[in-house]
Amino acid sequence: MQHFFNGKKVLITGHTGFKGAWLSFLLHQWGADVIGIALSPETTPNLFQVLGLEHMIKDYRCDIRDFNALQEIITREKPDIVFHLAAQALVRRSFRVPLETFAINTLGTAHVLEAIKDAKSVKAAVIITTDKVYENQEESRVFREIDPLGGYDPYSASKAAADIVASSYIRSYFNPEHYGKFHETRVGVARAGNVIGGGDWGEDRLVPDIVRAVYEGDGVATIRNPDSIRPWQHVFDCLDGYLRLAHALYEGKEESGGAWNFGSREEDALPVRQFAESAFRALGKGSYRVADVENNVFHEASVVRLDSSRAQSLLGWNSRMPVQDSIAHTFSWYQRYYENQAQICDYTCEQLNSFF
């Protein structure tokens, strides 16, 4: 994988976000020429600035809702590979700003795909959606890529719509039947969710809430839906799936297009309460309180599990990090950051090297 990406021109939308910053840093370490398109980081601190990525990669501040600006950058840079991660990624925020959520997640994805189509330089593009794109009837079922899409909340619905937009572009412009008529771009859609890891300070997320309570607050985190089961997955496992998919698409491997699930193992799904208790043990301090019912009015799906057998059989991908190891890796990163920020880049490289 490192040999493959070395020297490739890789464009990442959403590179200032949590997953985008990890992916940008990893590909830079592997010798890729990384170009980022995103808005400025929303939090202070944030992983993008903590790692000094603004000095390592080409950093464009551009809103993907601005098609002309986006198209101009992609046409100028002529990337070989695109990872589209830019999104309004918060369920609870989507209830407050539904139009913004649909504009960014759905129309923004169409903008990226249209710019890729016109640029004609891109050989592989991975469009990141979420495990929440499926029509979830709260039946504890395991979802496969062919299952119906849906979405209760604006975030989930906007991502399901983005998934459908990507499918339309794949069929209309990037399908192998059209090679020569348009260009040889291959596009895949990656679905994953509840990704954790060091360097996330986003709002309305369990790990950042715990970290802020322990290191910046009174040591008591407020948690919502303590009995809801989540399929926790470390960011390294998630990125491993994205990278393998990009490689397969670039090489033109059979059946590499379309949608792909990258879900955690069934045994790695834990209730929120149990996850929080494990987190405080890893940190050696802290506790939690449960949010009042009246302050927790937004709907959140209780169980979402993915069938990742397609990725396992065709990409050789597996979720390799058990949930307790994921928790240990995540909170050891924060411990190192708050104890010695000057050494955090070295520790970040150490974590990446130990996995990849």
Divide the 356 residues of the chain into consecutive groups of 10 and give the mean pLDDT of each group: 97 98 98 98 96 98 98 98 96 95 98 95 96 84 93 95 96 68 82 95 94 96 90 96 97 87 93 96 96 63 82 96 98 97 97 97
How high is the pLDDT of residue 175? 65
| Contacts (Cβ under 8 Å, ≥6 apart) of 299 | 152, 153
Do residues 109 and 152 lie in contact, with contact meaning Cβ atoms separated by under 8 Å?
A: no
**In the block, residue with structure tokens 């708050």:** 338
| pTM for the whole structure | 0.95
How high is the pLDDT of residue 10? 98
Total residues found in the chain within this entry: 356
188: left (phi over 0), alpha (psi -120 to 50) or beta: beta
7: left (phi over 0), alpha (psi -120 to 50) or beta: left
As a whole number of angstroms, the distance between CA 121 and CA 33 comes to: 15
How high is the pLDDT of residue 294? 52
How high is the pLDDT of residue 301? 58
How high is the pLDDT of residue 311? 97
How high is the pLDDT of residue 228? 86
How high is the pLDDT of residue 316? 96
How high is the pLDDT of residue 137? 76
